[in-house]
Structure 1
Amino acid sequence: MKVFNYFHPLVWSILLGTIFTRAASFMTIPFLALYLHNELNASPVLIGVTLGAAQLFATFGGIFGGFLTDKLGRKLVIIVTIFVWSGVFIGFAIVQSVILIAVLSSLNGLCRSFFEPATQALMIDFTEKEKRRRLFSIRYTSINIAGVIGPVLGVWISSLSDAVMPFIITGIMYAAYGFVLIVLLNHFEMRQQIAAERQTLPQMLRVVGTDTKLLLLLAGGVLISLGYSQYDSTLPQLVNLSVEEGVQLYSVLLVVNAAIVLLLQLPISVYTEKISAFKSLSFGMCFFASGFILFNISSSWTLFIVAMIVFSIGEIFAFPMMNAMIEEIAPDTQKATYLGASQLKNIGGFIGPIFGGWLLTHFVGEVYFVMAVIVLLSLVFYKKALALNKVA
């Protein structure tokens, strides 16, 4: 019972809801490309555009979602978004046009960019400052739990029914969570701090765009995102080139990654609370760089698995700290706006696969040495941001 008293009941509810909704999403989104190819005969280009649209809208919609959350309140944005999101997944099951699926995919990314900053800001409102790092760590664990459960459920449901059933079930799960949120958010009195003078969107964009600390953190985040994007872009290709049965090995590496994150997230997060956020991030980047170097020199299953273990430990140290450091510099009245702006770091996710693919084509032996340097370089930006924050 003592564990459950650590956070406010509303925070625990949102964390459980994160597992519930993310598992529902993982039931469908990873298989959307296959659905488009097998059921709608979409071309590879159209599939790429459709999937990329979600990432594009999630990346650039975050700051608008965060602004609306700070301006209109957490409750309104969360409830409206969850029901629109439910409709998006039902839409995936109903429409038969690839163009309309692309529109729905864009809405899916936009909903995520609104819902994520709003729920994170809500949890921050109800969490003491000294507990927020653990909050981000547990939220990250929740997402990884969902990442294990969701795809398995998706495959199982698809095997028992037709291809659209997982989309329908996901839509129903989102709507059900929406009704739960209505009850919860009406039961608890909101604690959002409101600015004395409301800012317009252009004013807010100007403030965020001129915050040097935020821009430095985003620059560091872009480099980390660029490096991490190799995980599902060039890494499977490298594995396939390096060993026999590379596809099977890559599947094993995905399981190893999920298992390490789930097993070590809690003990590592407890340790990181005793050190600075920058030190934790530095450990993460060192593990990332070491993992990349091991990937680069691996030529057997054993070495690749060891490399993935090292890489996964870096993920645990680094990822919760990226949002935690942005939350620390955000004014109390602009938490959601800053967390929404943090989505801009996903620009690295666009650049990474292209840059990594080019390196793999022309410099196959140096791909991950370059990535190791890039993720370590991110620390220069984080260190500078930290120095400015201390001055402020």
Structure 2
Amino acid sequence: MELYRWDLNLKVRLFGEGLFNLLFWMYFPFITVYFARTLGVELAGLLMAVPPLFLLVGSLIGGSLADEIGRRPVMLAGTFSQGFLFLVFALSTNAYVDYITYISIGFMGAIYKPASSAMVADLVPTEHLRNVFATFMASNNIGAVLGPLLGAVLFFEYRQALLLGCALVLFCYGGLLAVLTSETRPVSTEKTVATTFFTQGRSYATILIDPLFRLYLIAGVFALIPIMQLDVYLPVYLIEQTPATFNVSNTVLFGWLVAYNGLLFVVFIIPVTRVFRAWDERRVLLLSTFLGGFGTFLVAFSSNIWYLLIVTTMFTFGELIRSPVSQSFVSHYAPIESRGQYLATDTLQNTIGKFLAPVTVFASGFLSPLAVFTLILLSALIGMGLYAKLFDRLNQMKVSS
């Protein structure tokens, strides 16, 4: 689906979200360092374990509201609230206020995201969903590549100006959303969406009772654990447990691999998505899980920089081909009147994965690196088995119907 044919809602969001993500990645990678300096390393370490819980709750609330009151009002509320919170963050002189504000920014961003994804699913035909989601991801990852390079200087030297810039961009983006976008929520004749927090909980419980969707979530957790090791075990292994190569420190080497990972996303996510658009979801998810797990496993066998670039390419391509397909799968699997809630529930994979992925670091205290990488590969193989079981059941349902 060519960009010029996109609905105006999508064009506005592609521009606004891409610009904000650039600013987001200027401060996000350094926020833990900031709180470690202002609150102490031990307290900061404990406090930074809290945000994923708020992100999960915000996402679930946002998904339910997107189905109940519409995509546009939820996105407007999330955007303007984040703009105000960034303004508070920029003007604050108290570290604890900074932390509460940071948590709140993430919470409101999580409320925004399911409505944003649901709007894409509302507007884009099923056959084009992968390409459109891939375009949004490419735009976001440009910020993930450039943002940390700029933020390394701007965040610590001009933190207040950077945060004020984030607030200004969000207020401008919110204005564009208010003026140029329209509601896309499908009209439903049945009252199926939760109207209270209690019934919201029951609504999400109903989604989790769905055996096929629950199987999809569990498979996703095992598939994501290897992919998440780039931020979890790989820095520990490469920086502290391998010898330096090519006369560069292992810290610099790891930084190159992270930058290379982000660059691959920016350059290849759209063309790779187009290449695999003829593949069904079963083959794509099985291949991506294999590449992610086996590519990460291969890191154990050499610290040579050229070898590491090759295996980084392998596990990055696993993540590349997976992301748009997983979003499109949920978008067309979910009932249209509950699409926002299903997309919100889909974030459970990331949340649970982030909790389980650090087990590899704990295991490295008493297991050899090869044994740890074997556990990572085993997680991928379990994920592949569960995906195969999921699609076998889906095929059986289609045949029986």
TM over 0.5: yes
CA contact (8 A) 1:61 1:110 kept: yes
Give the TM-score normalised by structure 2: 0.90
| Cα shift at 1:195 | 4.9
Q: Which shows bigger deviation, 258-267 or 116-125?
A: 258-267
| Cα shift at 1:131 | 0.8
Question: RMSD across aligned C-alpha pairs, in angstroms?
Answer: 2.0
Matched, 1:338 2:342: yes
Structure 1: give runs of 5+ residues left out of the alignment.
none
Aligned to 1:92: 89
Aligned to 1:164: 160
Q: Match of 2:161, as an amino acid? A: M
Q: Match of 2:2, as an amino acid? A: V
| Percent identical | 21
Q: Match of 2:175, as an amino acid? A: F
Aligned to 1:302: 306
Q: Which shows bigger deviation, 125-134 or 51-60?
A: 51-60
Matched, 1:366 2:368: no
CA contact (8 A) 1:27 1:170 kept: no
| Cα shift at 1:220 | 1.4
CA contact (8 A) 2:7 2:123 kept: yes
Matched, 1:382 2:376: no
Aligned to 1:52: 49
1:36-51 equivalences in 2 (<5 Å): 36-38=35-37, 40=38, 42-51=39-48
1:240-251 equivalences in 2 (<5 Å): 240=239, 241-244=241-244, 245-251=249-255
| 2:3 partner SS | coil
Aligned to 1:214: 213
Give the TM-score normalised by structure 1: 0.92
| Compared CA separation, residues 285 and 209, structure 1 to 2 (3 A) | closer
CA contact (8 A) 1:285 1:314 kept: yes
Aligned to 1:323: 327
CA contact (8 A) 2:86 2:167 kept: yes
Q: Match of 1:307, as an amino acid? A: V
| Cα shift at 1:26 | 1.0
| Cα shift at 1:93 | 2.1
The Cα offsets for residues 36-62 of structure 1, whole Å up to 9 and x where unpaired, read as: 233x2x122322233332222112331
1:158-197 equivalences in 2 (<5 Å): 158=155, 161-185=157-181, 188=182, 190-197=184-191
Q: 1:267 aligns with which of 268, 271, 274?
A: 271
Q: Distance in 1 between matches of 2:113 and 2:373?
A: 31
Matched, 1:121 2:118: yes
Q: Distance in 1 between matches of 2:47 and 2:170?
A: 22
Number of aligned positions between the proteins: 385
| 2:158 partner SS | coil
Q: Distance in 2 between matches of 1:274 and 1:382?
A: 19
The Cα offsets for residues 103-128 of structure 1, whole Å up to 9 and x where unpaired, read as: 22321221122111111111211111
Aligned to 2:235: 236
Structure 2: give runs of 5+ residues left out of the alignment.
195-199
| Cα shift at 1:179 | 0.8
Q: Distance in 1 between matches of 2:60 and 2:155?
A: 36
The Cα offsets for residues 279-326 of structure 1, whole Å up to 9 and x where unpaired, read as: 111121221122112201113222212111111111111122222222
Aligned to 2:258: 254
| 1:5 partner SS | helix
CA contact (8 A) 1:122 1:192 kept: no
CA contact (8 A) 1:295 1:304 kept: yes
| Cα shift at 1:172 | 1.5
